[in-house]
Structure 1
Amino acid sequence: MSSSGIDRAFERRLATLINTREPRVLQNGLKGVEKESLRVSADGRIEHSPHPVALGSALSHEHITTDYSEALIELVTPAFRESWQLLQYLCDLHQFVYRHLGEQLLWATSMPCMLTGDAEIPIARYGRSNIGQMKEVYRLGLGNRYGRMMQAISGVHFNYSFPQQFWPVLAEVLQEPRADAHFISEQYFSLLRNYRRHGWLILYLFGNSPALCSSFVRGRDHQLETFAPGTLYAPYATSLRMSDLGYRNKSQAGVQISVNSLDEYVRDLTAAVSTPHPEYQKLGVKVDGEYRQLNANLLQIENEYYSYIRPKRVARSGEHPSQALRRGGVEYVEFRALDVSAFDPVGVNQNKLRFLEAFAALCVLKQSEPIDAGEQAHLDANHAIVARRGREPGLKLNRNGRPVELRTWALELIDSMRGICELLDQGDERKPYTAALDLQQTKIDDVDRTPSARSLQELRTTGESFAQFALRMSRVHKAYFVDLYPPNEQRLAEFSAEAEQSLERQASIEAADDMTFDQFLIKYFER
């Protein structure tokens, strides 16, 4: 691609797609969301009570589980063809959860509530089965490696797969003979590389963590400024969650995972979960009969790798994620860089999901050369700069070794997405994808319309601390779900039945164990 950002290959591919016999070729891709929220007391302190039994088993419930902490609820939707169906399901999940929280709240922001330190964050519990113990020890390892505070951050993950009818048409456009699993995986890896190149735009448009509670960085070097008592911020930050203070910390600097091909990705991930790390060896694995981590390798398991986006395939029983990918190829991608939106009761909205769907198509259609180590360093720096300084006037990023203004590059990407949104809008007079795109362009034209700027403006206007703002929004969201009428009683009844069934499944899993935990771990890692 030229340094001007003009991608002739993309323009040809899009034109061919628009002129195809199937104008709805991009419609009906499958969409799902995983949304995390800290469970807090009525006054905004992290909850130490167990995951409510009425919500079912966090081990075996498909849609209501916990992430790192017993207090970190994760709500998981099935895959839907329409984003409104997905959001309705997510709304119903929230309403069901709130029926069983009593006075408790779901924290409305990505950055956590007031915390006194690591010891205050309870690790999630999954019962006495071997797999339940493994999940708990894995979390102990994360806490010992990176600290528990980082694990108390919440996010939204968007899962997306292109519609089946897209692949044969794309194969024709690219003059490839077959749209088989290998071809599909190659295209998803093109998407992953281009997301690494352009994903900073997601932080700019949707980042919503420019400030945090000062308790989060107590005792750490942070280079943040004081906004108000108890509140720290970076004046032009978009997403401190995705900065070096959050998930992009230096702890995994040695983990370099290639997305140049499925084979390279699996190779690097396999090396990371099987290569001992001196610091983790010092920590010890099982000390005085107590586990501190699952092993002393660079990564304990594959999911420990923090990335903005992941290739995924639904794993069969007993399969590791990379084994599933090797068996069947990439099935969908998981966008992981979304902050929880304090301004949306379910933490995400339809315009955002529509934009991400179009952005996925942009990333798969654009020219996507392999990424070498030098380019990867520039791409990582671009993300880090936008997370910390994305709203800074005149901010420049590195594109193909040359400086380019963020605003110029962002507008070029938006402009490239117009034809994609037209395809997604085919047959719908409301043009919802184009409207979603127009809305994002206003944030580039006027930086004050970004969620991160809006959050800081809210703090300035109200005089609230970050914690007070987040607590107020958490209460507003709770009231929304409690007062929502009429509730979907049929679905709420389904959730109740599912909760009971999940508890029965956990009991069955525990009863079926036929080896010690030590034996179970040996067998798991032998696979």
Structure 2
Amino acid sequence: MAHSSRLENLLRAGQQGFLRDGLKGLEKESLRLDPDGRIAQTPHPAALGSALTHEWITTDYSEALIELITPPAASAEETLGFLGDIHAYVHQHLEGEILLATSMPIGLDGDDSIPIARYGRSNIGLMKQIYRRGLAHRYGRTMQSIAGVHFNYSINEALWPVLHDLEQPAAELSAFVSEAYFGIIRNIHRHGWLLIYLFGNSPAICKSFFSGRENLATRFAELDPETYYRPFATSLRMSDIGYRNDNQTSLDISFNALDDYIASLEAAIRQPYPPYERIGIKVDGEYRQLNANILQIENEYYSAIRPKQITFSGERPTLALRKRGVRYLELRALDLLGTEPAGVALDELRFLETFVLYCLLEASPPLSTEEKAECSRNSLTVACCGRGPALPLSRTGREVPLAQWAMEIVEHLEDIAAILDEGQAGTPYRNSVQRYRPACQEPELTASARVLRELRDNRETFAEFALRLSREHAKHWLAHRLDKDRLGRFAAEAEASWNRQMQIEAADRLSLDDFLSAYWQQA
């Protein structure tokens, strides 16, 4: 059964049960639309609380791009249930607006139609807005309107001392934990294309996405007069028109150790970039961007997986990692599943957990610059062409059919799923792996293939398809009844979040210039 020495050690010691009960959380973005299906021009609803300080409801890039966050939970059912309750609460306060069901946007009318998020008049709130203004100057606003799901996962804390005792590394426990998380990160880079293949859900796109950038549309075929697509695409969100920036290809961010990761990321934040210097930083008294370097802050580096540590208000993420190590991982390569009211399925969450544990248990040698480039090419190939017949990928320089490699991974996942099912009622984890197994060999069973099939069968444009699903989901959540305690908890947090924002604004003593200077000088 065991495919790795780490798993063999756990099985031999009878300690495999500690693989269970890792904490799961979700961050789910959705574009707010007006009743006619256009991007909302209204502010973030005040009844939902402060986007700056609310624990569970905020905004991402745009004022219209709402982000829903669940607290960490050991149960996938609890995580998804909380996300559903947030949806229901939000829909009670949208006043006729709806949340877009798909990752790729509809209802855009060029960059100017996308309002940048606002977070009040505090220094930290203004900094967040300036960062987004910088993204607009650097990449345009349209790319930032794409939505997705982030899966946050932390290994069961009780597993770490067990592994440390079994493996007897030279590193002390805290350093060992960070090393193990970076091993997971490297393996997710190697194997994460499978998630894009299985859960990619954006093979088509509304033509309005290219408003003002019509030259980019030449890369696509026309599905109907209002829709572009790529015949074998799985995730245009993760393709060359989505969250990929050509200027970042020169970055050599290391995933081989925590210190190397921090050093390479901080170097990028300090590295001047002439095209951004031409934009200017502060022009006519107004900030256009936080700086003119290749990255304004750490979050500008677009990666499918990030090591995370809980940060204090205003604390730099790399400083939090340096001081307190890796706390959890943020898996960012997931499209919204448009057919699911919450944008994510329960079986998907179980599959993702099993996959992350597979990446923990498999050997994970250092990633060379060449292998990182190979991993990136594989992910891009799957995003653009993943359902192509007999599609080959590259594994350490050798071609291997996607289907063959996928089945190899799934066989390992089934063994891990069996461990996760121990003590459960039924076999939910094995069922989740088996649900997606057939798609590994039959591309027409993938989520992206179903989208294209539905568009053709219903003779819908992508915008019509997305709007229909969005309206169906709105009805679903408006009919979802929240229990009294949960409703009270959400209402109390909305009020408390406004109080926290006012306290932050009242406590500011520095000018914005001095605040930003102090931010960069943190040590």
Name the TM-score class by shorter chain. Answer: over 0.9
Q: Which residue of structure 2 aligns with residue 240 of structure 1?
A: 236
Output one character per residue of 1:452-489: Cα deviation in whole Å (capped at 9) or x when no partner. 001111101110000000000000100111112x4223
Alignment of structure 1 residues 259-274 onto 2, 5 Å: 259-274=255-270
Distance 1:205 1:269, change over 3 A: same
- Are the aligned partners of 1:242 and 1:337 in contact in 2 as well (CA < 8 Å)? yes
- Are the aligned partners of 2:311 and 2:317 in contact in 1 as well (CA < 8 Å)? yes
| Whole-angstrom CA distance in 1 between matches of 2:277 and 2:19 | 49
- Are the aligned partners of 1:14 and 1:419 in contact in 2 as well (CA < 8 Å)? no
Residue 249 (structure 1) shift: 3.2
Alignment of structure 1 residues 513-524 onto 2, 5 Å: 513-524=508-519
| Whole-angstrom CA distance in 1 between matches of 2:370 and 2:170 | 33
Residue 177 (structure 1) shift: 6.1
| Whole-angstrom CA distance in 1 between matches of 2:158 and 2:503 | 40
Amino acid in structure 1 at the alignment position of 2:6: R
| Whole-angstrom CA distance in 2 between matches of 1:214 and 1:144 | 22
Alignment of structure 1 residues 295-444 onto 2, 5 Å: 295-444=291-440
Output one character per residue of 1:354-384: Cα deviation in whole Å (capped at 9) or x when no partner. 1111111111111111111111111111000
Output one character per residue of 1:398-437: Cα deviation in whole Å (capped at 9) or x when no partner. 0111100000000000011122111111112411110000
Secondary structure in 1 matching 2:164:
helix
Secondary structure in 2 matching 1:148:
coil
Output one character per residue of 1:222-262: Cα deviation in whole Å (capped at 9) or x when no partner. 41100011100000000000001100231322222110110
Amino acid in structure 2 at the alignment position of 1:94: H
| Whole-angstrom CA distance in 2 between matches of 1:9 and 1:81 | 24
What is the aligned counterpart of 1:280 among 255, 276, 281?
276
Q: Which residue of structure 2 aligns with residue 510 of structure 1?
A: 505
The yes-or-no answer on 1:57 pairing with 2:38 is: no
**Matched residue count:** 519
Q: Which residue of structure 2 aligns with residue 206 of structure 1?
A: 199
Residue 17 (structure 1) shift: 2.1
Q: Which residue of structure 2 aligns with residue 140 of structure 1?
A: 133
Output one character per residue of 1:105-160: Cα deviation in whole Å (capped at 9) or x when no partner. 00000001121110110000111111111111100000100100000000100000
| Whole-angstrom CA distance in 1 between matches of 2:291 and 2:188 | 31
What is the aligned counterpart of 1:153 among 141, 146, 153?
146
Output one character per residue of 1:331-354: Cα deviation in whole Å (capped at 9) or x when no partner. 110000000110110111111111
| Whole-angstrom CA distance in 2 between matches of 1:144 and 1:34 | 26
Secondary structure in 2 matching 1:221:
helix
- TM-score of the pair, normalised by structure 2: 0.97
Secondary structure in 2 matching 1:125:
coil
Greater shift, 114-123 or 8-17, is seen at 8-17
The yes-or-no answer on 1:471 pairing with 2:467 is: yes
Structure 2: 5+ residue stretches without partners: none
- Are the aligned partners of 1:14 and 1:420 in contact in 2 as well (CA < 8 Å)? no
Residue 275 (structure 1) shift: 1.3
Residue 23 (structure 1) shift: 4.1
| Whole-angstrom CA distance in 2 between matches of 1:204 and 1:10 | 23
- Are the aligned partners of 1:42 and 1:104 in contact in 2 as well (CA < 8 Å)? yes
Amino acid in structure 1 at the alignment position of 2:13: T
| Whole-angstrom CA distance in 2 between matches of 1:225 and 1:128 | 45
Q: Which residue of structure 2 aligns with residue 174 of structure 1?
A: 167
Q: Which residue of structure 2 aligns with residue 492 of structure 1?
A: 487
| Whole-angstrom CA distance in 2 between matches of 1:435 and 1:303 | 35
Sequence identity percentage: 51
- Are the aligned partners of 2:7 and 2:16 in contact in 1 as well (CA < 8 Å)? no
Q: Which residue of structure 1 aligns with residue 111 of structure 2?
A: 118
Distance 1:66 1:517, change over 3 A: same
Amino acid in structure 2 at the alignment position of 1:48: Q
Structure 1: 5+ residue stretches without partners: 1-7
What is the aligned counterpart of 1:37 among 30, 34, 39?
30
Secondary structure in 2 matching 1:80:
coil
Secondary structure in 2 matching 1:253:
helix
What is the aligned counterpart of 1:109 among 102, 116, 121?
102
What is the aligned counterpart of 1:131 among 105, 124, 144?
124
- Are the aligned partners of 1:32 and 1:80 in contact in 2 as well (CA < 8 Å)? yes
| Whole-angstrom CA distance in 1 between matches of 2:397 and 2:340 | 38
The yes-or-no answer on 1:71 pairing with 2:64 is: yes
Secondary structure in 2 matching 1:123:
coil
Residue 179 (structure 1) shift: 6.3
- Are the aligned partners of 2:201 and 2:451 in contact in 1 as well (CA < 8 Å)? yes
Amino acid in structure 2 at the alignment position of 1:203: I
Distance 1:155 1:305, change over 3 A: same
| Whole-angstrom CA distance in 2 between matches of 1:513 and 1:453 | 52
Q: Which residue of structure 2 aligns with residue 5 of structure 1?
A: none
